[in-house]
A and B are shown apart, each in its own frame.
Chain A
Amino acid sequence: MPKDGGIGASSKRREDVRFLTGAGNYTDDINIRGQAHVFFLRSDVAHGTLNNVDTSEAEGMPGVVRIFTGADFEAVGSIPCGWQVTDRHGDPMQEPRHPVLAHGKVRHVGEPIAAVVAETLGQARDAAEAIVVEIDELPAVIDMKEAVKDGAPKVHDDLTSNLCYDWGFVEENKDAVNKAFDDAAHVTTLELVNNRLVANPMEPRVAVGDYSRSDDQHTLYTTSQNPHVIRLLMGAFVLGIPEHKLRVVAPDVGGGFGTKIFHYQEEAFCTFAAKACNRPVKWTSSRSEAFISDAHGRDHVTKIELALDGDNNFTAIRTDTYANMGAYLSTFAPSVPTWLHGTLMAGNYKTPLIYVNVKAVFTNTVPVDAYRGAGRPEATYQLERLVDKAAHELGVDPMELRRQNFITEFPYATPVAVEYDTGDYNATLDKLIEISDKAGFEARRKESEAKGKLRGFGMNCYIEACGIAPSNLVGQLGARAGLYESATVRVNATGGLVVMTGSHSHGQGHETTFSQVVAEMIGIDESMVDIVHGDTAKVPMGMGTYGSRSIAVGGSAMVRATEKIIAKAKKIASHLLEASESDIELKDGAFSVAGTDKSVAWGDVTLAAYVPHNYPLEDIEPGLEETAFYDPSNFTYPSGAYACEVELDPDTGHVTIERFAAADDFGNVINPMIVTGQVHGGLAQGIGQALMENCAYDSDGQLLSASYMDYAMPRASDLPFYSVDHSCQTPCTHNPLGVKGCGEAGAIGSPPAVVNAVLDAMRSGGKDVGHIDMPVTPARVWAAMHGAEANAARVGAVGSNAKPQPE
């Protein structure tokens, strides 16, 4: 029977009441008395020498408080990068300076050149139009392979080239991998593009800076997934403000998907300008600005090869990837194509030898960083497209080829430096076959064909890694941060609890899920637990939310803190019950003495802690408040199998998703409804990437898809009713809840299934084109189906996002 509360219950999302009734408190809802408004004048060219920024006329415009240019920030630090990758020769990556406002050069369309602070936004905008900017335009580098050629224009003149790093993983395996390819019975090769995406959270970015002269306190309200990280990066590296003088608040945040992890110039600007102007200063991104200033995602161009022996066992994988960094290194950009990507290249398979090469490249485009899945979708897409292609080349069932090569014994150490603790890939594949009704596919295909349509079935497996850790390991890998999480549990005198977590919720439903965990541990009603997050003045130093880490890391910290609370409460209870501490049991919110009917309620114990009249003061302090920091010993490894069924209109190339099934293993599940919702959202974004989303630049560096008129977001009508199952559960072995994380799986696992299904549909129509790049738009499908007759070599050729459209 379903529980009505606690772990395993589908408790309704408590935060939705305020979100759905307009009672949320988003950053743009924050208006401080006396606040001025900021408008950023942004570059409209991709690359150029910034000769002069003349603000003289603009400064006299009505309402102008002050105008800032790059010169005002020369004494200020560079926007820092939070991860240093070491290349295959042992050298550090090339790391350019990233100014708050452009100085000397502009390097991408959208880079801020000047900022006007004025009484109203309209006045700021009017004044910005009066600023005279002199730019000598330079040739832009957009295509990554062009960017690394000798003589290519350099994005950063002080770097040796546009190559940020050339990373080999595991470099020592390279020769053995090459030999395995020499010895292979069959080699499958695939060249593909992982299309650049714009994250598009519903709420655009906002920053409000405030400064109090009376106590020299800075406050930044910002749309962030990790306010403590922003406080550390901005305070220590950019503005030189110690943390006790800087408070960062990320209140209700309307979606992040990764792009709100990073520290942006606008945050530093508003914090800086609030003091410089002695006024609160507010900036709210327009949607148009978001397209050219939020970090983009993905954008890999890859060649991947699979070696198989005569029995179709995978013997080696070799990859060669170009990863776009954009014009500057966003906070975690270098880690995405390396440690979040290379480490996943084993997938679900016991391939003994793997070598991953990644060349990270600077281009005159918006910086690229983590987007839902971050590196893992790129790994999964390559691998699962490759395995499917191999199966078709060998004439074997793609599902069975996967099954034959599955890892089946755990723990399993991969050749790419990670150890999977648990998993059961056959179980999720069997579940997928059931929930996708694979058996009924042929009948459905016939129905489609009777209507003149083609129907395809595609599937894939996936493995991902959540809760990147432990801190000492990631430090060795180049992280300039720890990856623990914090929790403080404050019990009030009458028994209610406030939990302060370093995790940050921006749509995930943490307030509900986390309350369920703590309530379950104590045996009290969820309504007695409140969750506080997103304010560095309230919450101990925490690392925030990304990489599906919140329940696995943040939840574990909360468990550890609650365990401390319970241990102390048992001491108090043993005193009140005059019994030995070892005999005290906590059940359903009451402490009892084992084997007796003596008990004392939770509320009586908590009251005793704060009104310690009858209390063991000689043994323990009054009060009931505990903090824990949890640093995991390993990643968690969710896994699963996804299937997609498409219908393809051969006359137009239009593809519709008819069915989609997802069988996931997330370990233990706290709130099944919320987990289902997370999978639904991830699938929408993965299907969006596969079918329609495409961030495209022209060769001059102008963003072609700079609004919703040209950037296609998936809508409800583009998506089917999903079949989602997470009943296959192999609990994580190394965290106290046995949980793995579910936030990104849908986006990681779905693109290959969609593309595999489209190719299957095309094959059923007599067109075997081998590969088609995402997004699989009608125009591309049509071109592929017709190009296959005329010129098959063109289909699947390595493309570039600068040339998005097959002619």
Chain B
Amino acid sequence: MYNFEVERPTSVSNAVAALGRDEAQPLSGGQTLIPTLKARLAAPSVLVSLTGIEDMKGVRMEGDKLCIGGATTHATVMREAEAHYPGLASLAARIGDPAVRNRGTIGGSLANNDPSACYPAGALGSGATIVTNNREIAADDYFMGMFETALEEDEIVTEVKFPVPDAARYEKFIQPASRFPLVAAFVARFSDGVRVAITGASENGVFRWTEAEEALNGNFGADAVKGLSVSADGMIGDLHGSSAYRAHLVGVMTQRAVASIA
């Protein structure tokens, strides 16, 4: 990696101030950024570490919303969200490996918006609200495409608020090398409707499979989505699976998620 300075603010306001420095970049768990720096694919002058900000850590219920600080690790969510939102805790428990889960954070994952990451499916599938230092953004307005989000420069994900569904399930089919999802489906059943979010599959990143949602709103069961399919157009095709295969897996993973909570 290239040389850089590190700032370790203990408050969100100090972090935002530090991010105002020239070529500054926020660093959360570093599970994407650090390997990128090691490969010399990025050259920030200043890294602003967010993991020393206590206000951005922890899992708590606020009314009927589960609120998770942006700098909360996957391992913490795995343990502490279990009692409140087991479907989300289960997603967190299956991200990467223990080393990744003890460093990587929810805010880092959502800010990066890797098209194969797990959390975007959990957030979009739950209809979560992404809270930043400036505003609140509905998940439906937040994910803008592969590695693209609605975040502005110097905007930090400080918290994510999840409505808690009656039941939810994340079904993941892994890419055998990276163990990221090749395709994964997050299905959440709320009293007022069903949400289905798909990650890993699309060249545009995480998306809602609205056709499946409509079918499931009428009849929540695996049979309801059995006949549905997504088009292979726009699906990722690579060494690990063609776009047709990914399109097929969207259906299979969704059916399995539905079946486990129907």
By the criterion CB–CB under 8 Å, are A782 and B245 in contact? Answer: yes
Q: How far is the CA of A422 from the CA of B238 in the complex (A)?
A: 48
Given contacts A652-B173, A708-B178, A712-B177, contact A777 B240 (CB under 8 A): yes
Question: Is B39 engaged at the interface, CB distance under 8 Å to the other chain?
Answer: yes
Q: Which residues of A contact B240 (CB under 8 A)?
A: 710, 777, 779, 805
A711 near B177 with CB under 8 A, answer yes
Interface-centre pick from B173, B175, B245, B248 (highest chain A CB count, 10 A): B245
Task: Please encode chain A, from 788 to 807, with 1 for each CB lying within 8 Å of some chain B CB and 0 for all others.
Answer: 00000000000000001111
Please give, as numbers and ranges, the residues of chain A lying within 8 Å of B245 by CB-CB distance. Answer: 653, 778-779, 782-783
B177-A692 in contact (CB<8A): yes
Q: Check B242–A710 contact: CB distance below 8 A.
A: no
Asked if B239 contacts A807 (CB within 8 A), the reply is no
The answer to whether B242 and A694 touch across the interface, beta carbons within 8 angstroms, is no
State whether A654 touches B173 (Cβ < 8 A): yes
For B238, list chain A residues within 8 Å (CB).
Answer: 805
Distance A354 CA – B175 CA, assembled complex (angstroms): 41
Contact check, A692 vs B242: say whether CB atoms are below 8 A apart.
Answer: no
Q: Which residues of B contact A696 (CB under 8 A)?
A: 239
CB-CB under 8 A from B40, the residues of chain A are: 125, 129
A805 CA to B239 CA, complexed, in Å = 6
The digit string for A681-716, where 1 denotes a CB below 8 A from any CB of B, is 000000000011010100000001100111111000
One digit per residue, 1 when the CB lies within 8 angstroms of any chain A CB and 0 when it does not, for chain B 155-189 equals 00000000000000000010111100010000000
Flag whether A216 is at the interface (Cβ < 8 A). no
A705 touches B39 (CB 8 A): no
**Chain B interface category by residue count:** 20 to 34
Q: In the complex, which residues of chain B have a beta carbon less than 8 angstroms from the beta carbon of A157?
A: none
Cβ-defined partner of B177 (8 Å) among A122, A125, A710, A779:
A710
Which residues of chain A in 637-690 are interfacial with respect to chain B, using CB atoms and an 8 Å cutoff? 651-654
Asked if A633 lies at the interface with its beta carbon under 8 angstroms from chain B, I say no
A212 within 8 A of B: no
Tally of contacts, chain A with chain B, CB under 8 A: 59
A783 and B178 form a contact (CB under 8 A): no
B31 vs chain A, min Cβ distance (A): 12
Q: Which residues of B contact A710 (CB under 8 A)?
A: 177-178, 239-240
Contacts of B178 in A (CB 8 A): 708-710
Cα distance A692–B176 in the bound complex, in angstroms = 7
Q: Within the complex, what minimum Cβ distance (angstroms) separates B181 from chain A? A: 13
Picked from A288, A692, A805, the residue with its CB within 8 Å of the CB of B241 is A805
- A652: min CB distance to chain B, Å: 6
Contacts of B241 in A (CB 8 A): 777-779, 805
Q: Provide the bound-state CA to CA distance between A778 and B174, in Å.
A: 10
| Chain B residues positioned under 8 Å from A705 (CB to CB) | 177, 239
Given A705-B177, A711-B177, residue A806 in contact with residue B239 (CB < 8 A): no
Q: Does B249 sit within 8 A of A, measured CB to CB?
A: yes
Task: Verify A652–B252 contact, CB threshold 8 A.
Answer: yes
Contact of B66 with A by CB under 8 A: no
Q: Which residues in window 750-807 of A have CB below 8 A to B?
A: 777-779, 782-783, 804-807
B176 touching A712, Cβ below 8 Å: yes
Residues of B within 8 A of A692 (CB): 176-177
Assess whether A779 is in contact with B252, with CB atoms less than 8 Å apart.
no
Separation of A782 and B241 alpha carbons in the complex (Å): 10
**In the complex, B150 has a CB within 8 A of chain A:** no
- Contact residues in B for A804 (Cβ distance below 8 Å): 239
State how many angstroms separate the Cβ of B243 from the closest Cβ of chain A.
8
B242 and A805: CB pair below 8 A? yes
Contact partner of B242 (CB less than 8 A), chosen from A709, A712, A783, is: A783
Q: Which of A122, A651, A691, A708 contacts B252 (CB 8 A)?
A: A651
Q: How far is the CA of A777 from the CA of B182 in the complex (A)?
A: 12
What CA separation (Å) do A694 and B177 show in the bound complex?
A: 10
Complex interface: chain A residues within 8 A of B237 (CB): 805, 807
Report B236-259 CB contacts with A as 1/0, cut-off 8 Å: 011111101100110010000000
Chain B residue nearest to A651 (CB atoms) is: B252
In the complex, what residue of chain B is closest to A807 when comparing beta carbons?
B242
Partner of B244, one of A288, A711, A777, A807: A807
Which residues on the B side are within 8 Å of A125 (C-beta)? 40
Interface residues of B in 13-51 (CB under 8 A from A): 39-40
B248 engages A782 (CB within 8 Å): yes
A441 to B240 alpha-carbon distance, docked (Å): 31
Q: How far is the CA of A696 from the CA of B240 in the complex (A)?
A: 11
Give CA–CA (A691, B176) in the complex, Å. Answer: 10
A120 CB to closest chain B CB (Å) equals 11
Beta-carbon nearest neighbor of A288 in chain B? B39
Complex CA gap A705/B175 in Å reads 13
CA gap between A35 and B44 in the complex, in Å: 30
CA distance A620 to B248 in the complex (A): 82
Residues of A within 8 A of B242 (CB): 779, 783, 805-807
B-chain residues with CB within 8 Å of residue A718 when the two chains form the complex: 176
> CA–CA, A711 to B173, complex, Å?
17
Q: Which residues of A contact B248 (CB under 8 A)?
A: 782
| Residue among A129, A651, A711 with most chain B CB within 10 A | A651
How distant is the Cα of A708 from the Cα of B173 in the complex, in angstroms?
18
Chain A's closest residue to B241 (CB) is A779
B258 vs chain A, min Cβ distance (A): 14
The chain A residue with its CB closest to the CB of B116 is A709
> What's the nearest-Cβ distance from chain A to residue B237, in Å?
8
User: In the complex, A805→B246 CA distance in Å?
Assistant: 13
Q: Point out the residues of chain A lying under 8 angstroms from B3, CB to CB.
A: 122
Q: Kindly state the separation between the CA atoms of A779 and B183 in the bound complex, as whole angstroms.
A: 12
Complex Cα gap A125–B245 (Å): 41
Q: Which residues of B contact A711 (CB under 8 A)?
A: 177
Task: Encode contact with A along B182-211: 1 for CB under 8 Å, 0 otherwise.
Answer: 100000000000000000000000000000
CB nearest neighbor in A for B240: A779
Cα–Cα, bound, A751→B120 (Å) = 38
Encode contact with A along B213-241: 1 for CB under 8 Å, 0 otherwise: 00000000000000000000000011111
Complex-state Cα separation, A777 to B240, whole angstroms: 8
Min C-beta distance of A444 to chain B, whole Å: 23
Chain B residues within 8 Å of A652, by CB: 173, 249, 252
Partner of B239, one of A288, A691, A704: A704
B12 to A: closest C-beta gap in Å: 32
Nearest-CB residue, chain A, relative to B255: A651
How far is it, in angstroms, between the C-alpha of A713 and the C-alpha of B176 when the chains are bound? 8
Chain A 706-740 interface residues, beta-carbon cutoff 8 Å to B: 708-713, 718
Which residues from chain A contact B39 at a C-beta distance below 8 Å?
A: 288
Most chain A beta-carbon contacts within 10 A, residue among B40, B176, B244, B252: B176
Q: Shortest Cβ distance from B154 into chain A, in angstroms?
A: 29
Look across to chain B and name the residue whose beta carbon is closest to the beta carbon of A709. B178
* Nearest CB in chain A: distance from B228 CB, A: 14
Q: How many Å from the CB of A70 to the closest CB on chain B?
A: 24
A713 to B245, CA, bound (A): 22
Could you say which residues of chain A place their CB within 8 Å of the CB of B249?
652
A514 to B254, CA, bound (A): 57
Shortest beta-carbon distance, A805 to chain B, in Å? Answer: 6
A804 to B242, CA, bound (A): 11
Contacts of A779 in B (CB 8 A): 240-242, 245
Alpha-carbon distance between A122 and B40 when the two chains are bound, in angstroms: 11
On A, residues with C-beta under 8 Å from B are: 122, 125, 129, 288, 651-654, 691-692, 694, 696, 704-705, 708-713, 718, 777-779, 782-783, 804-807
Q: Please give me the 6 A-B residue pairs with the lowest Cβ-Cβ distance, nearest first.
A: A712-B177, A712-B176, A779-B241, A709-B178, A779-B245, A651-B252
Interface CB pairs A-B, < 8 A, 19: A122-B3, A129-B40, A288-B39, A652-B249, A691-B176, A692-B176, A704-B239, A705-B239, A708-B177, A708-B178, A710-B240, A711-B177, A713-B177, A778-B176, A778-B245, A779-B241, A783-B242, A805-B237, A807-B237
Given contacts A777-B176, A779-B240, 17 further A-B contacts (CB under 8 A): A288-B39, A652-B249, A691-B176, A708-B177, A708-B178, A710-B178, A710-B239, A710-B240, A711-B177, A712-B175, A778-B176, A778-B241, A782-B245, A783-B245, A804-B239, A805-B242, A807-B237
Q: What residues of chain B have their CB less than 8 Å away from a CB belonging to chain A?
A: 3, 39-40, 173, 175-178, 182, 237-242, 244-245, 248-249, 252
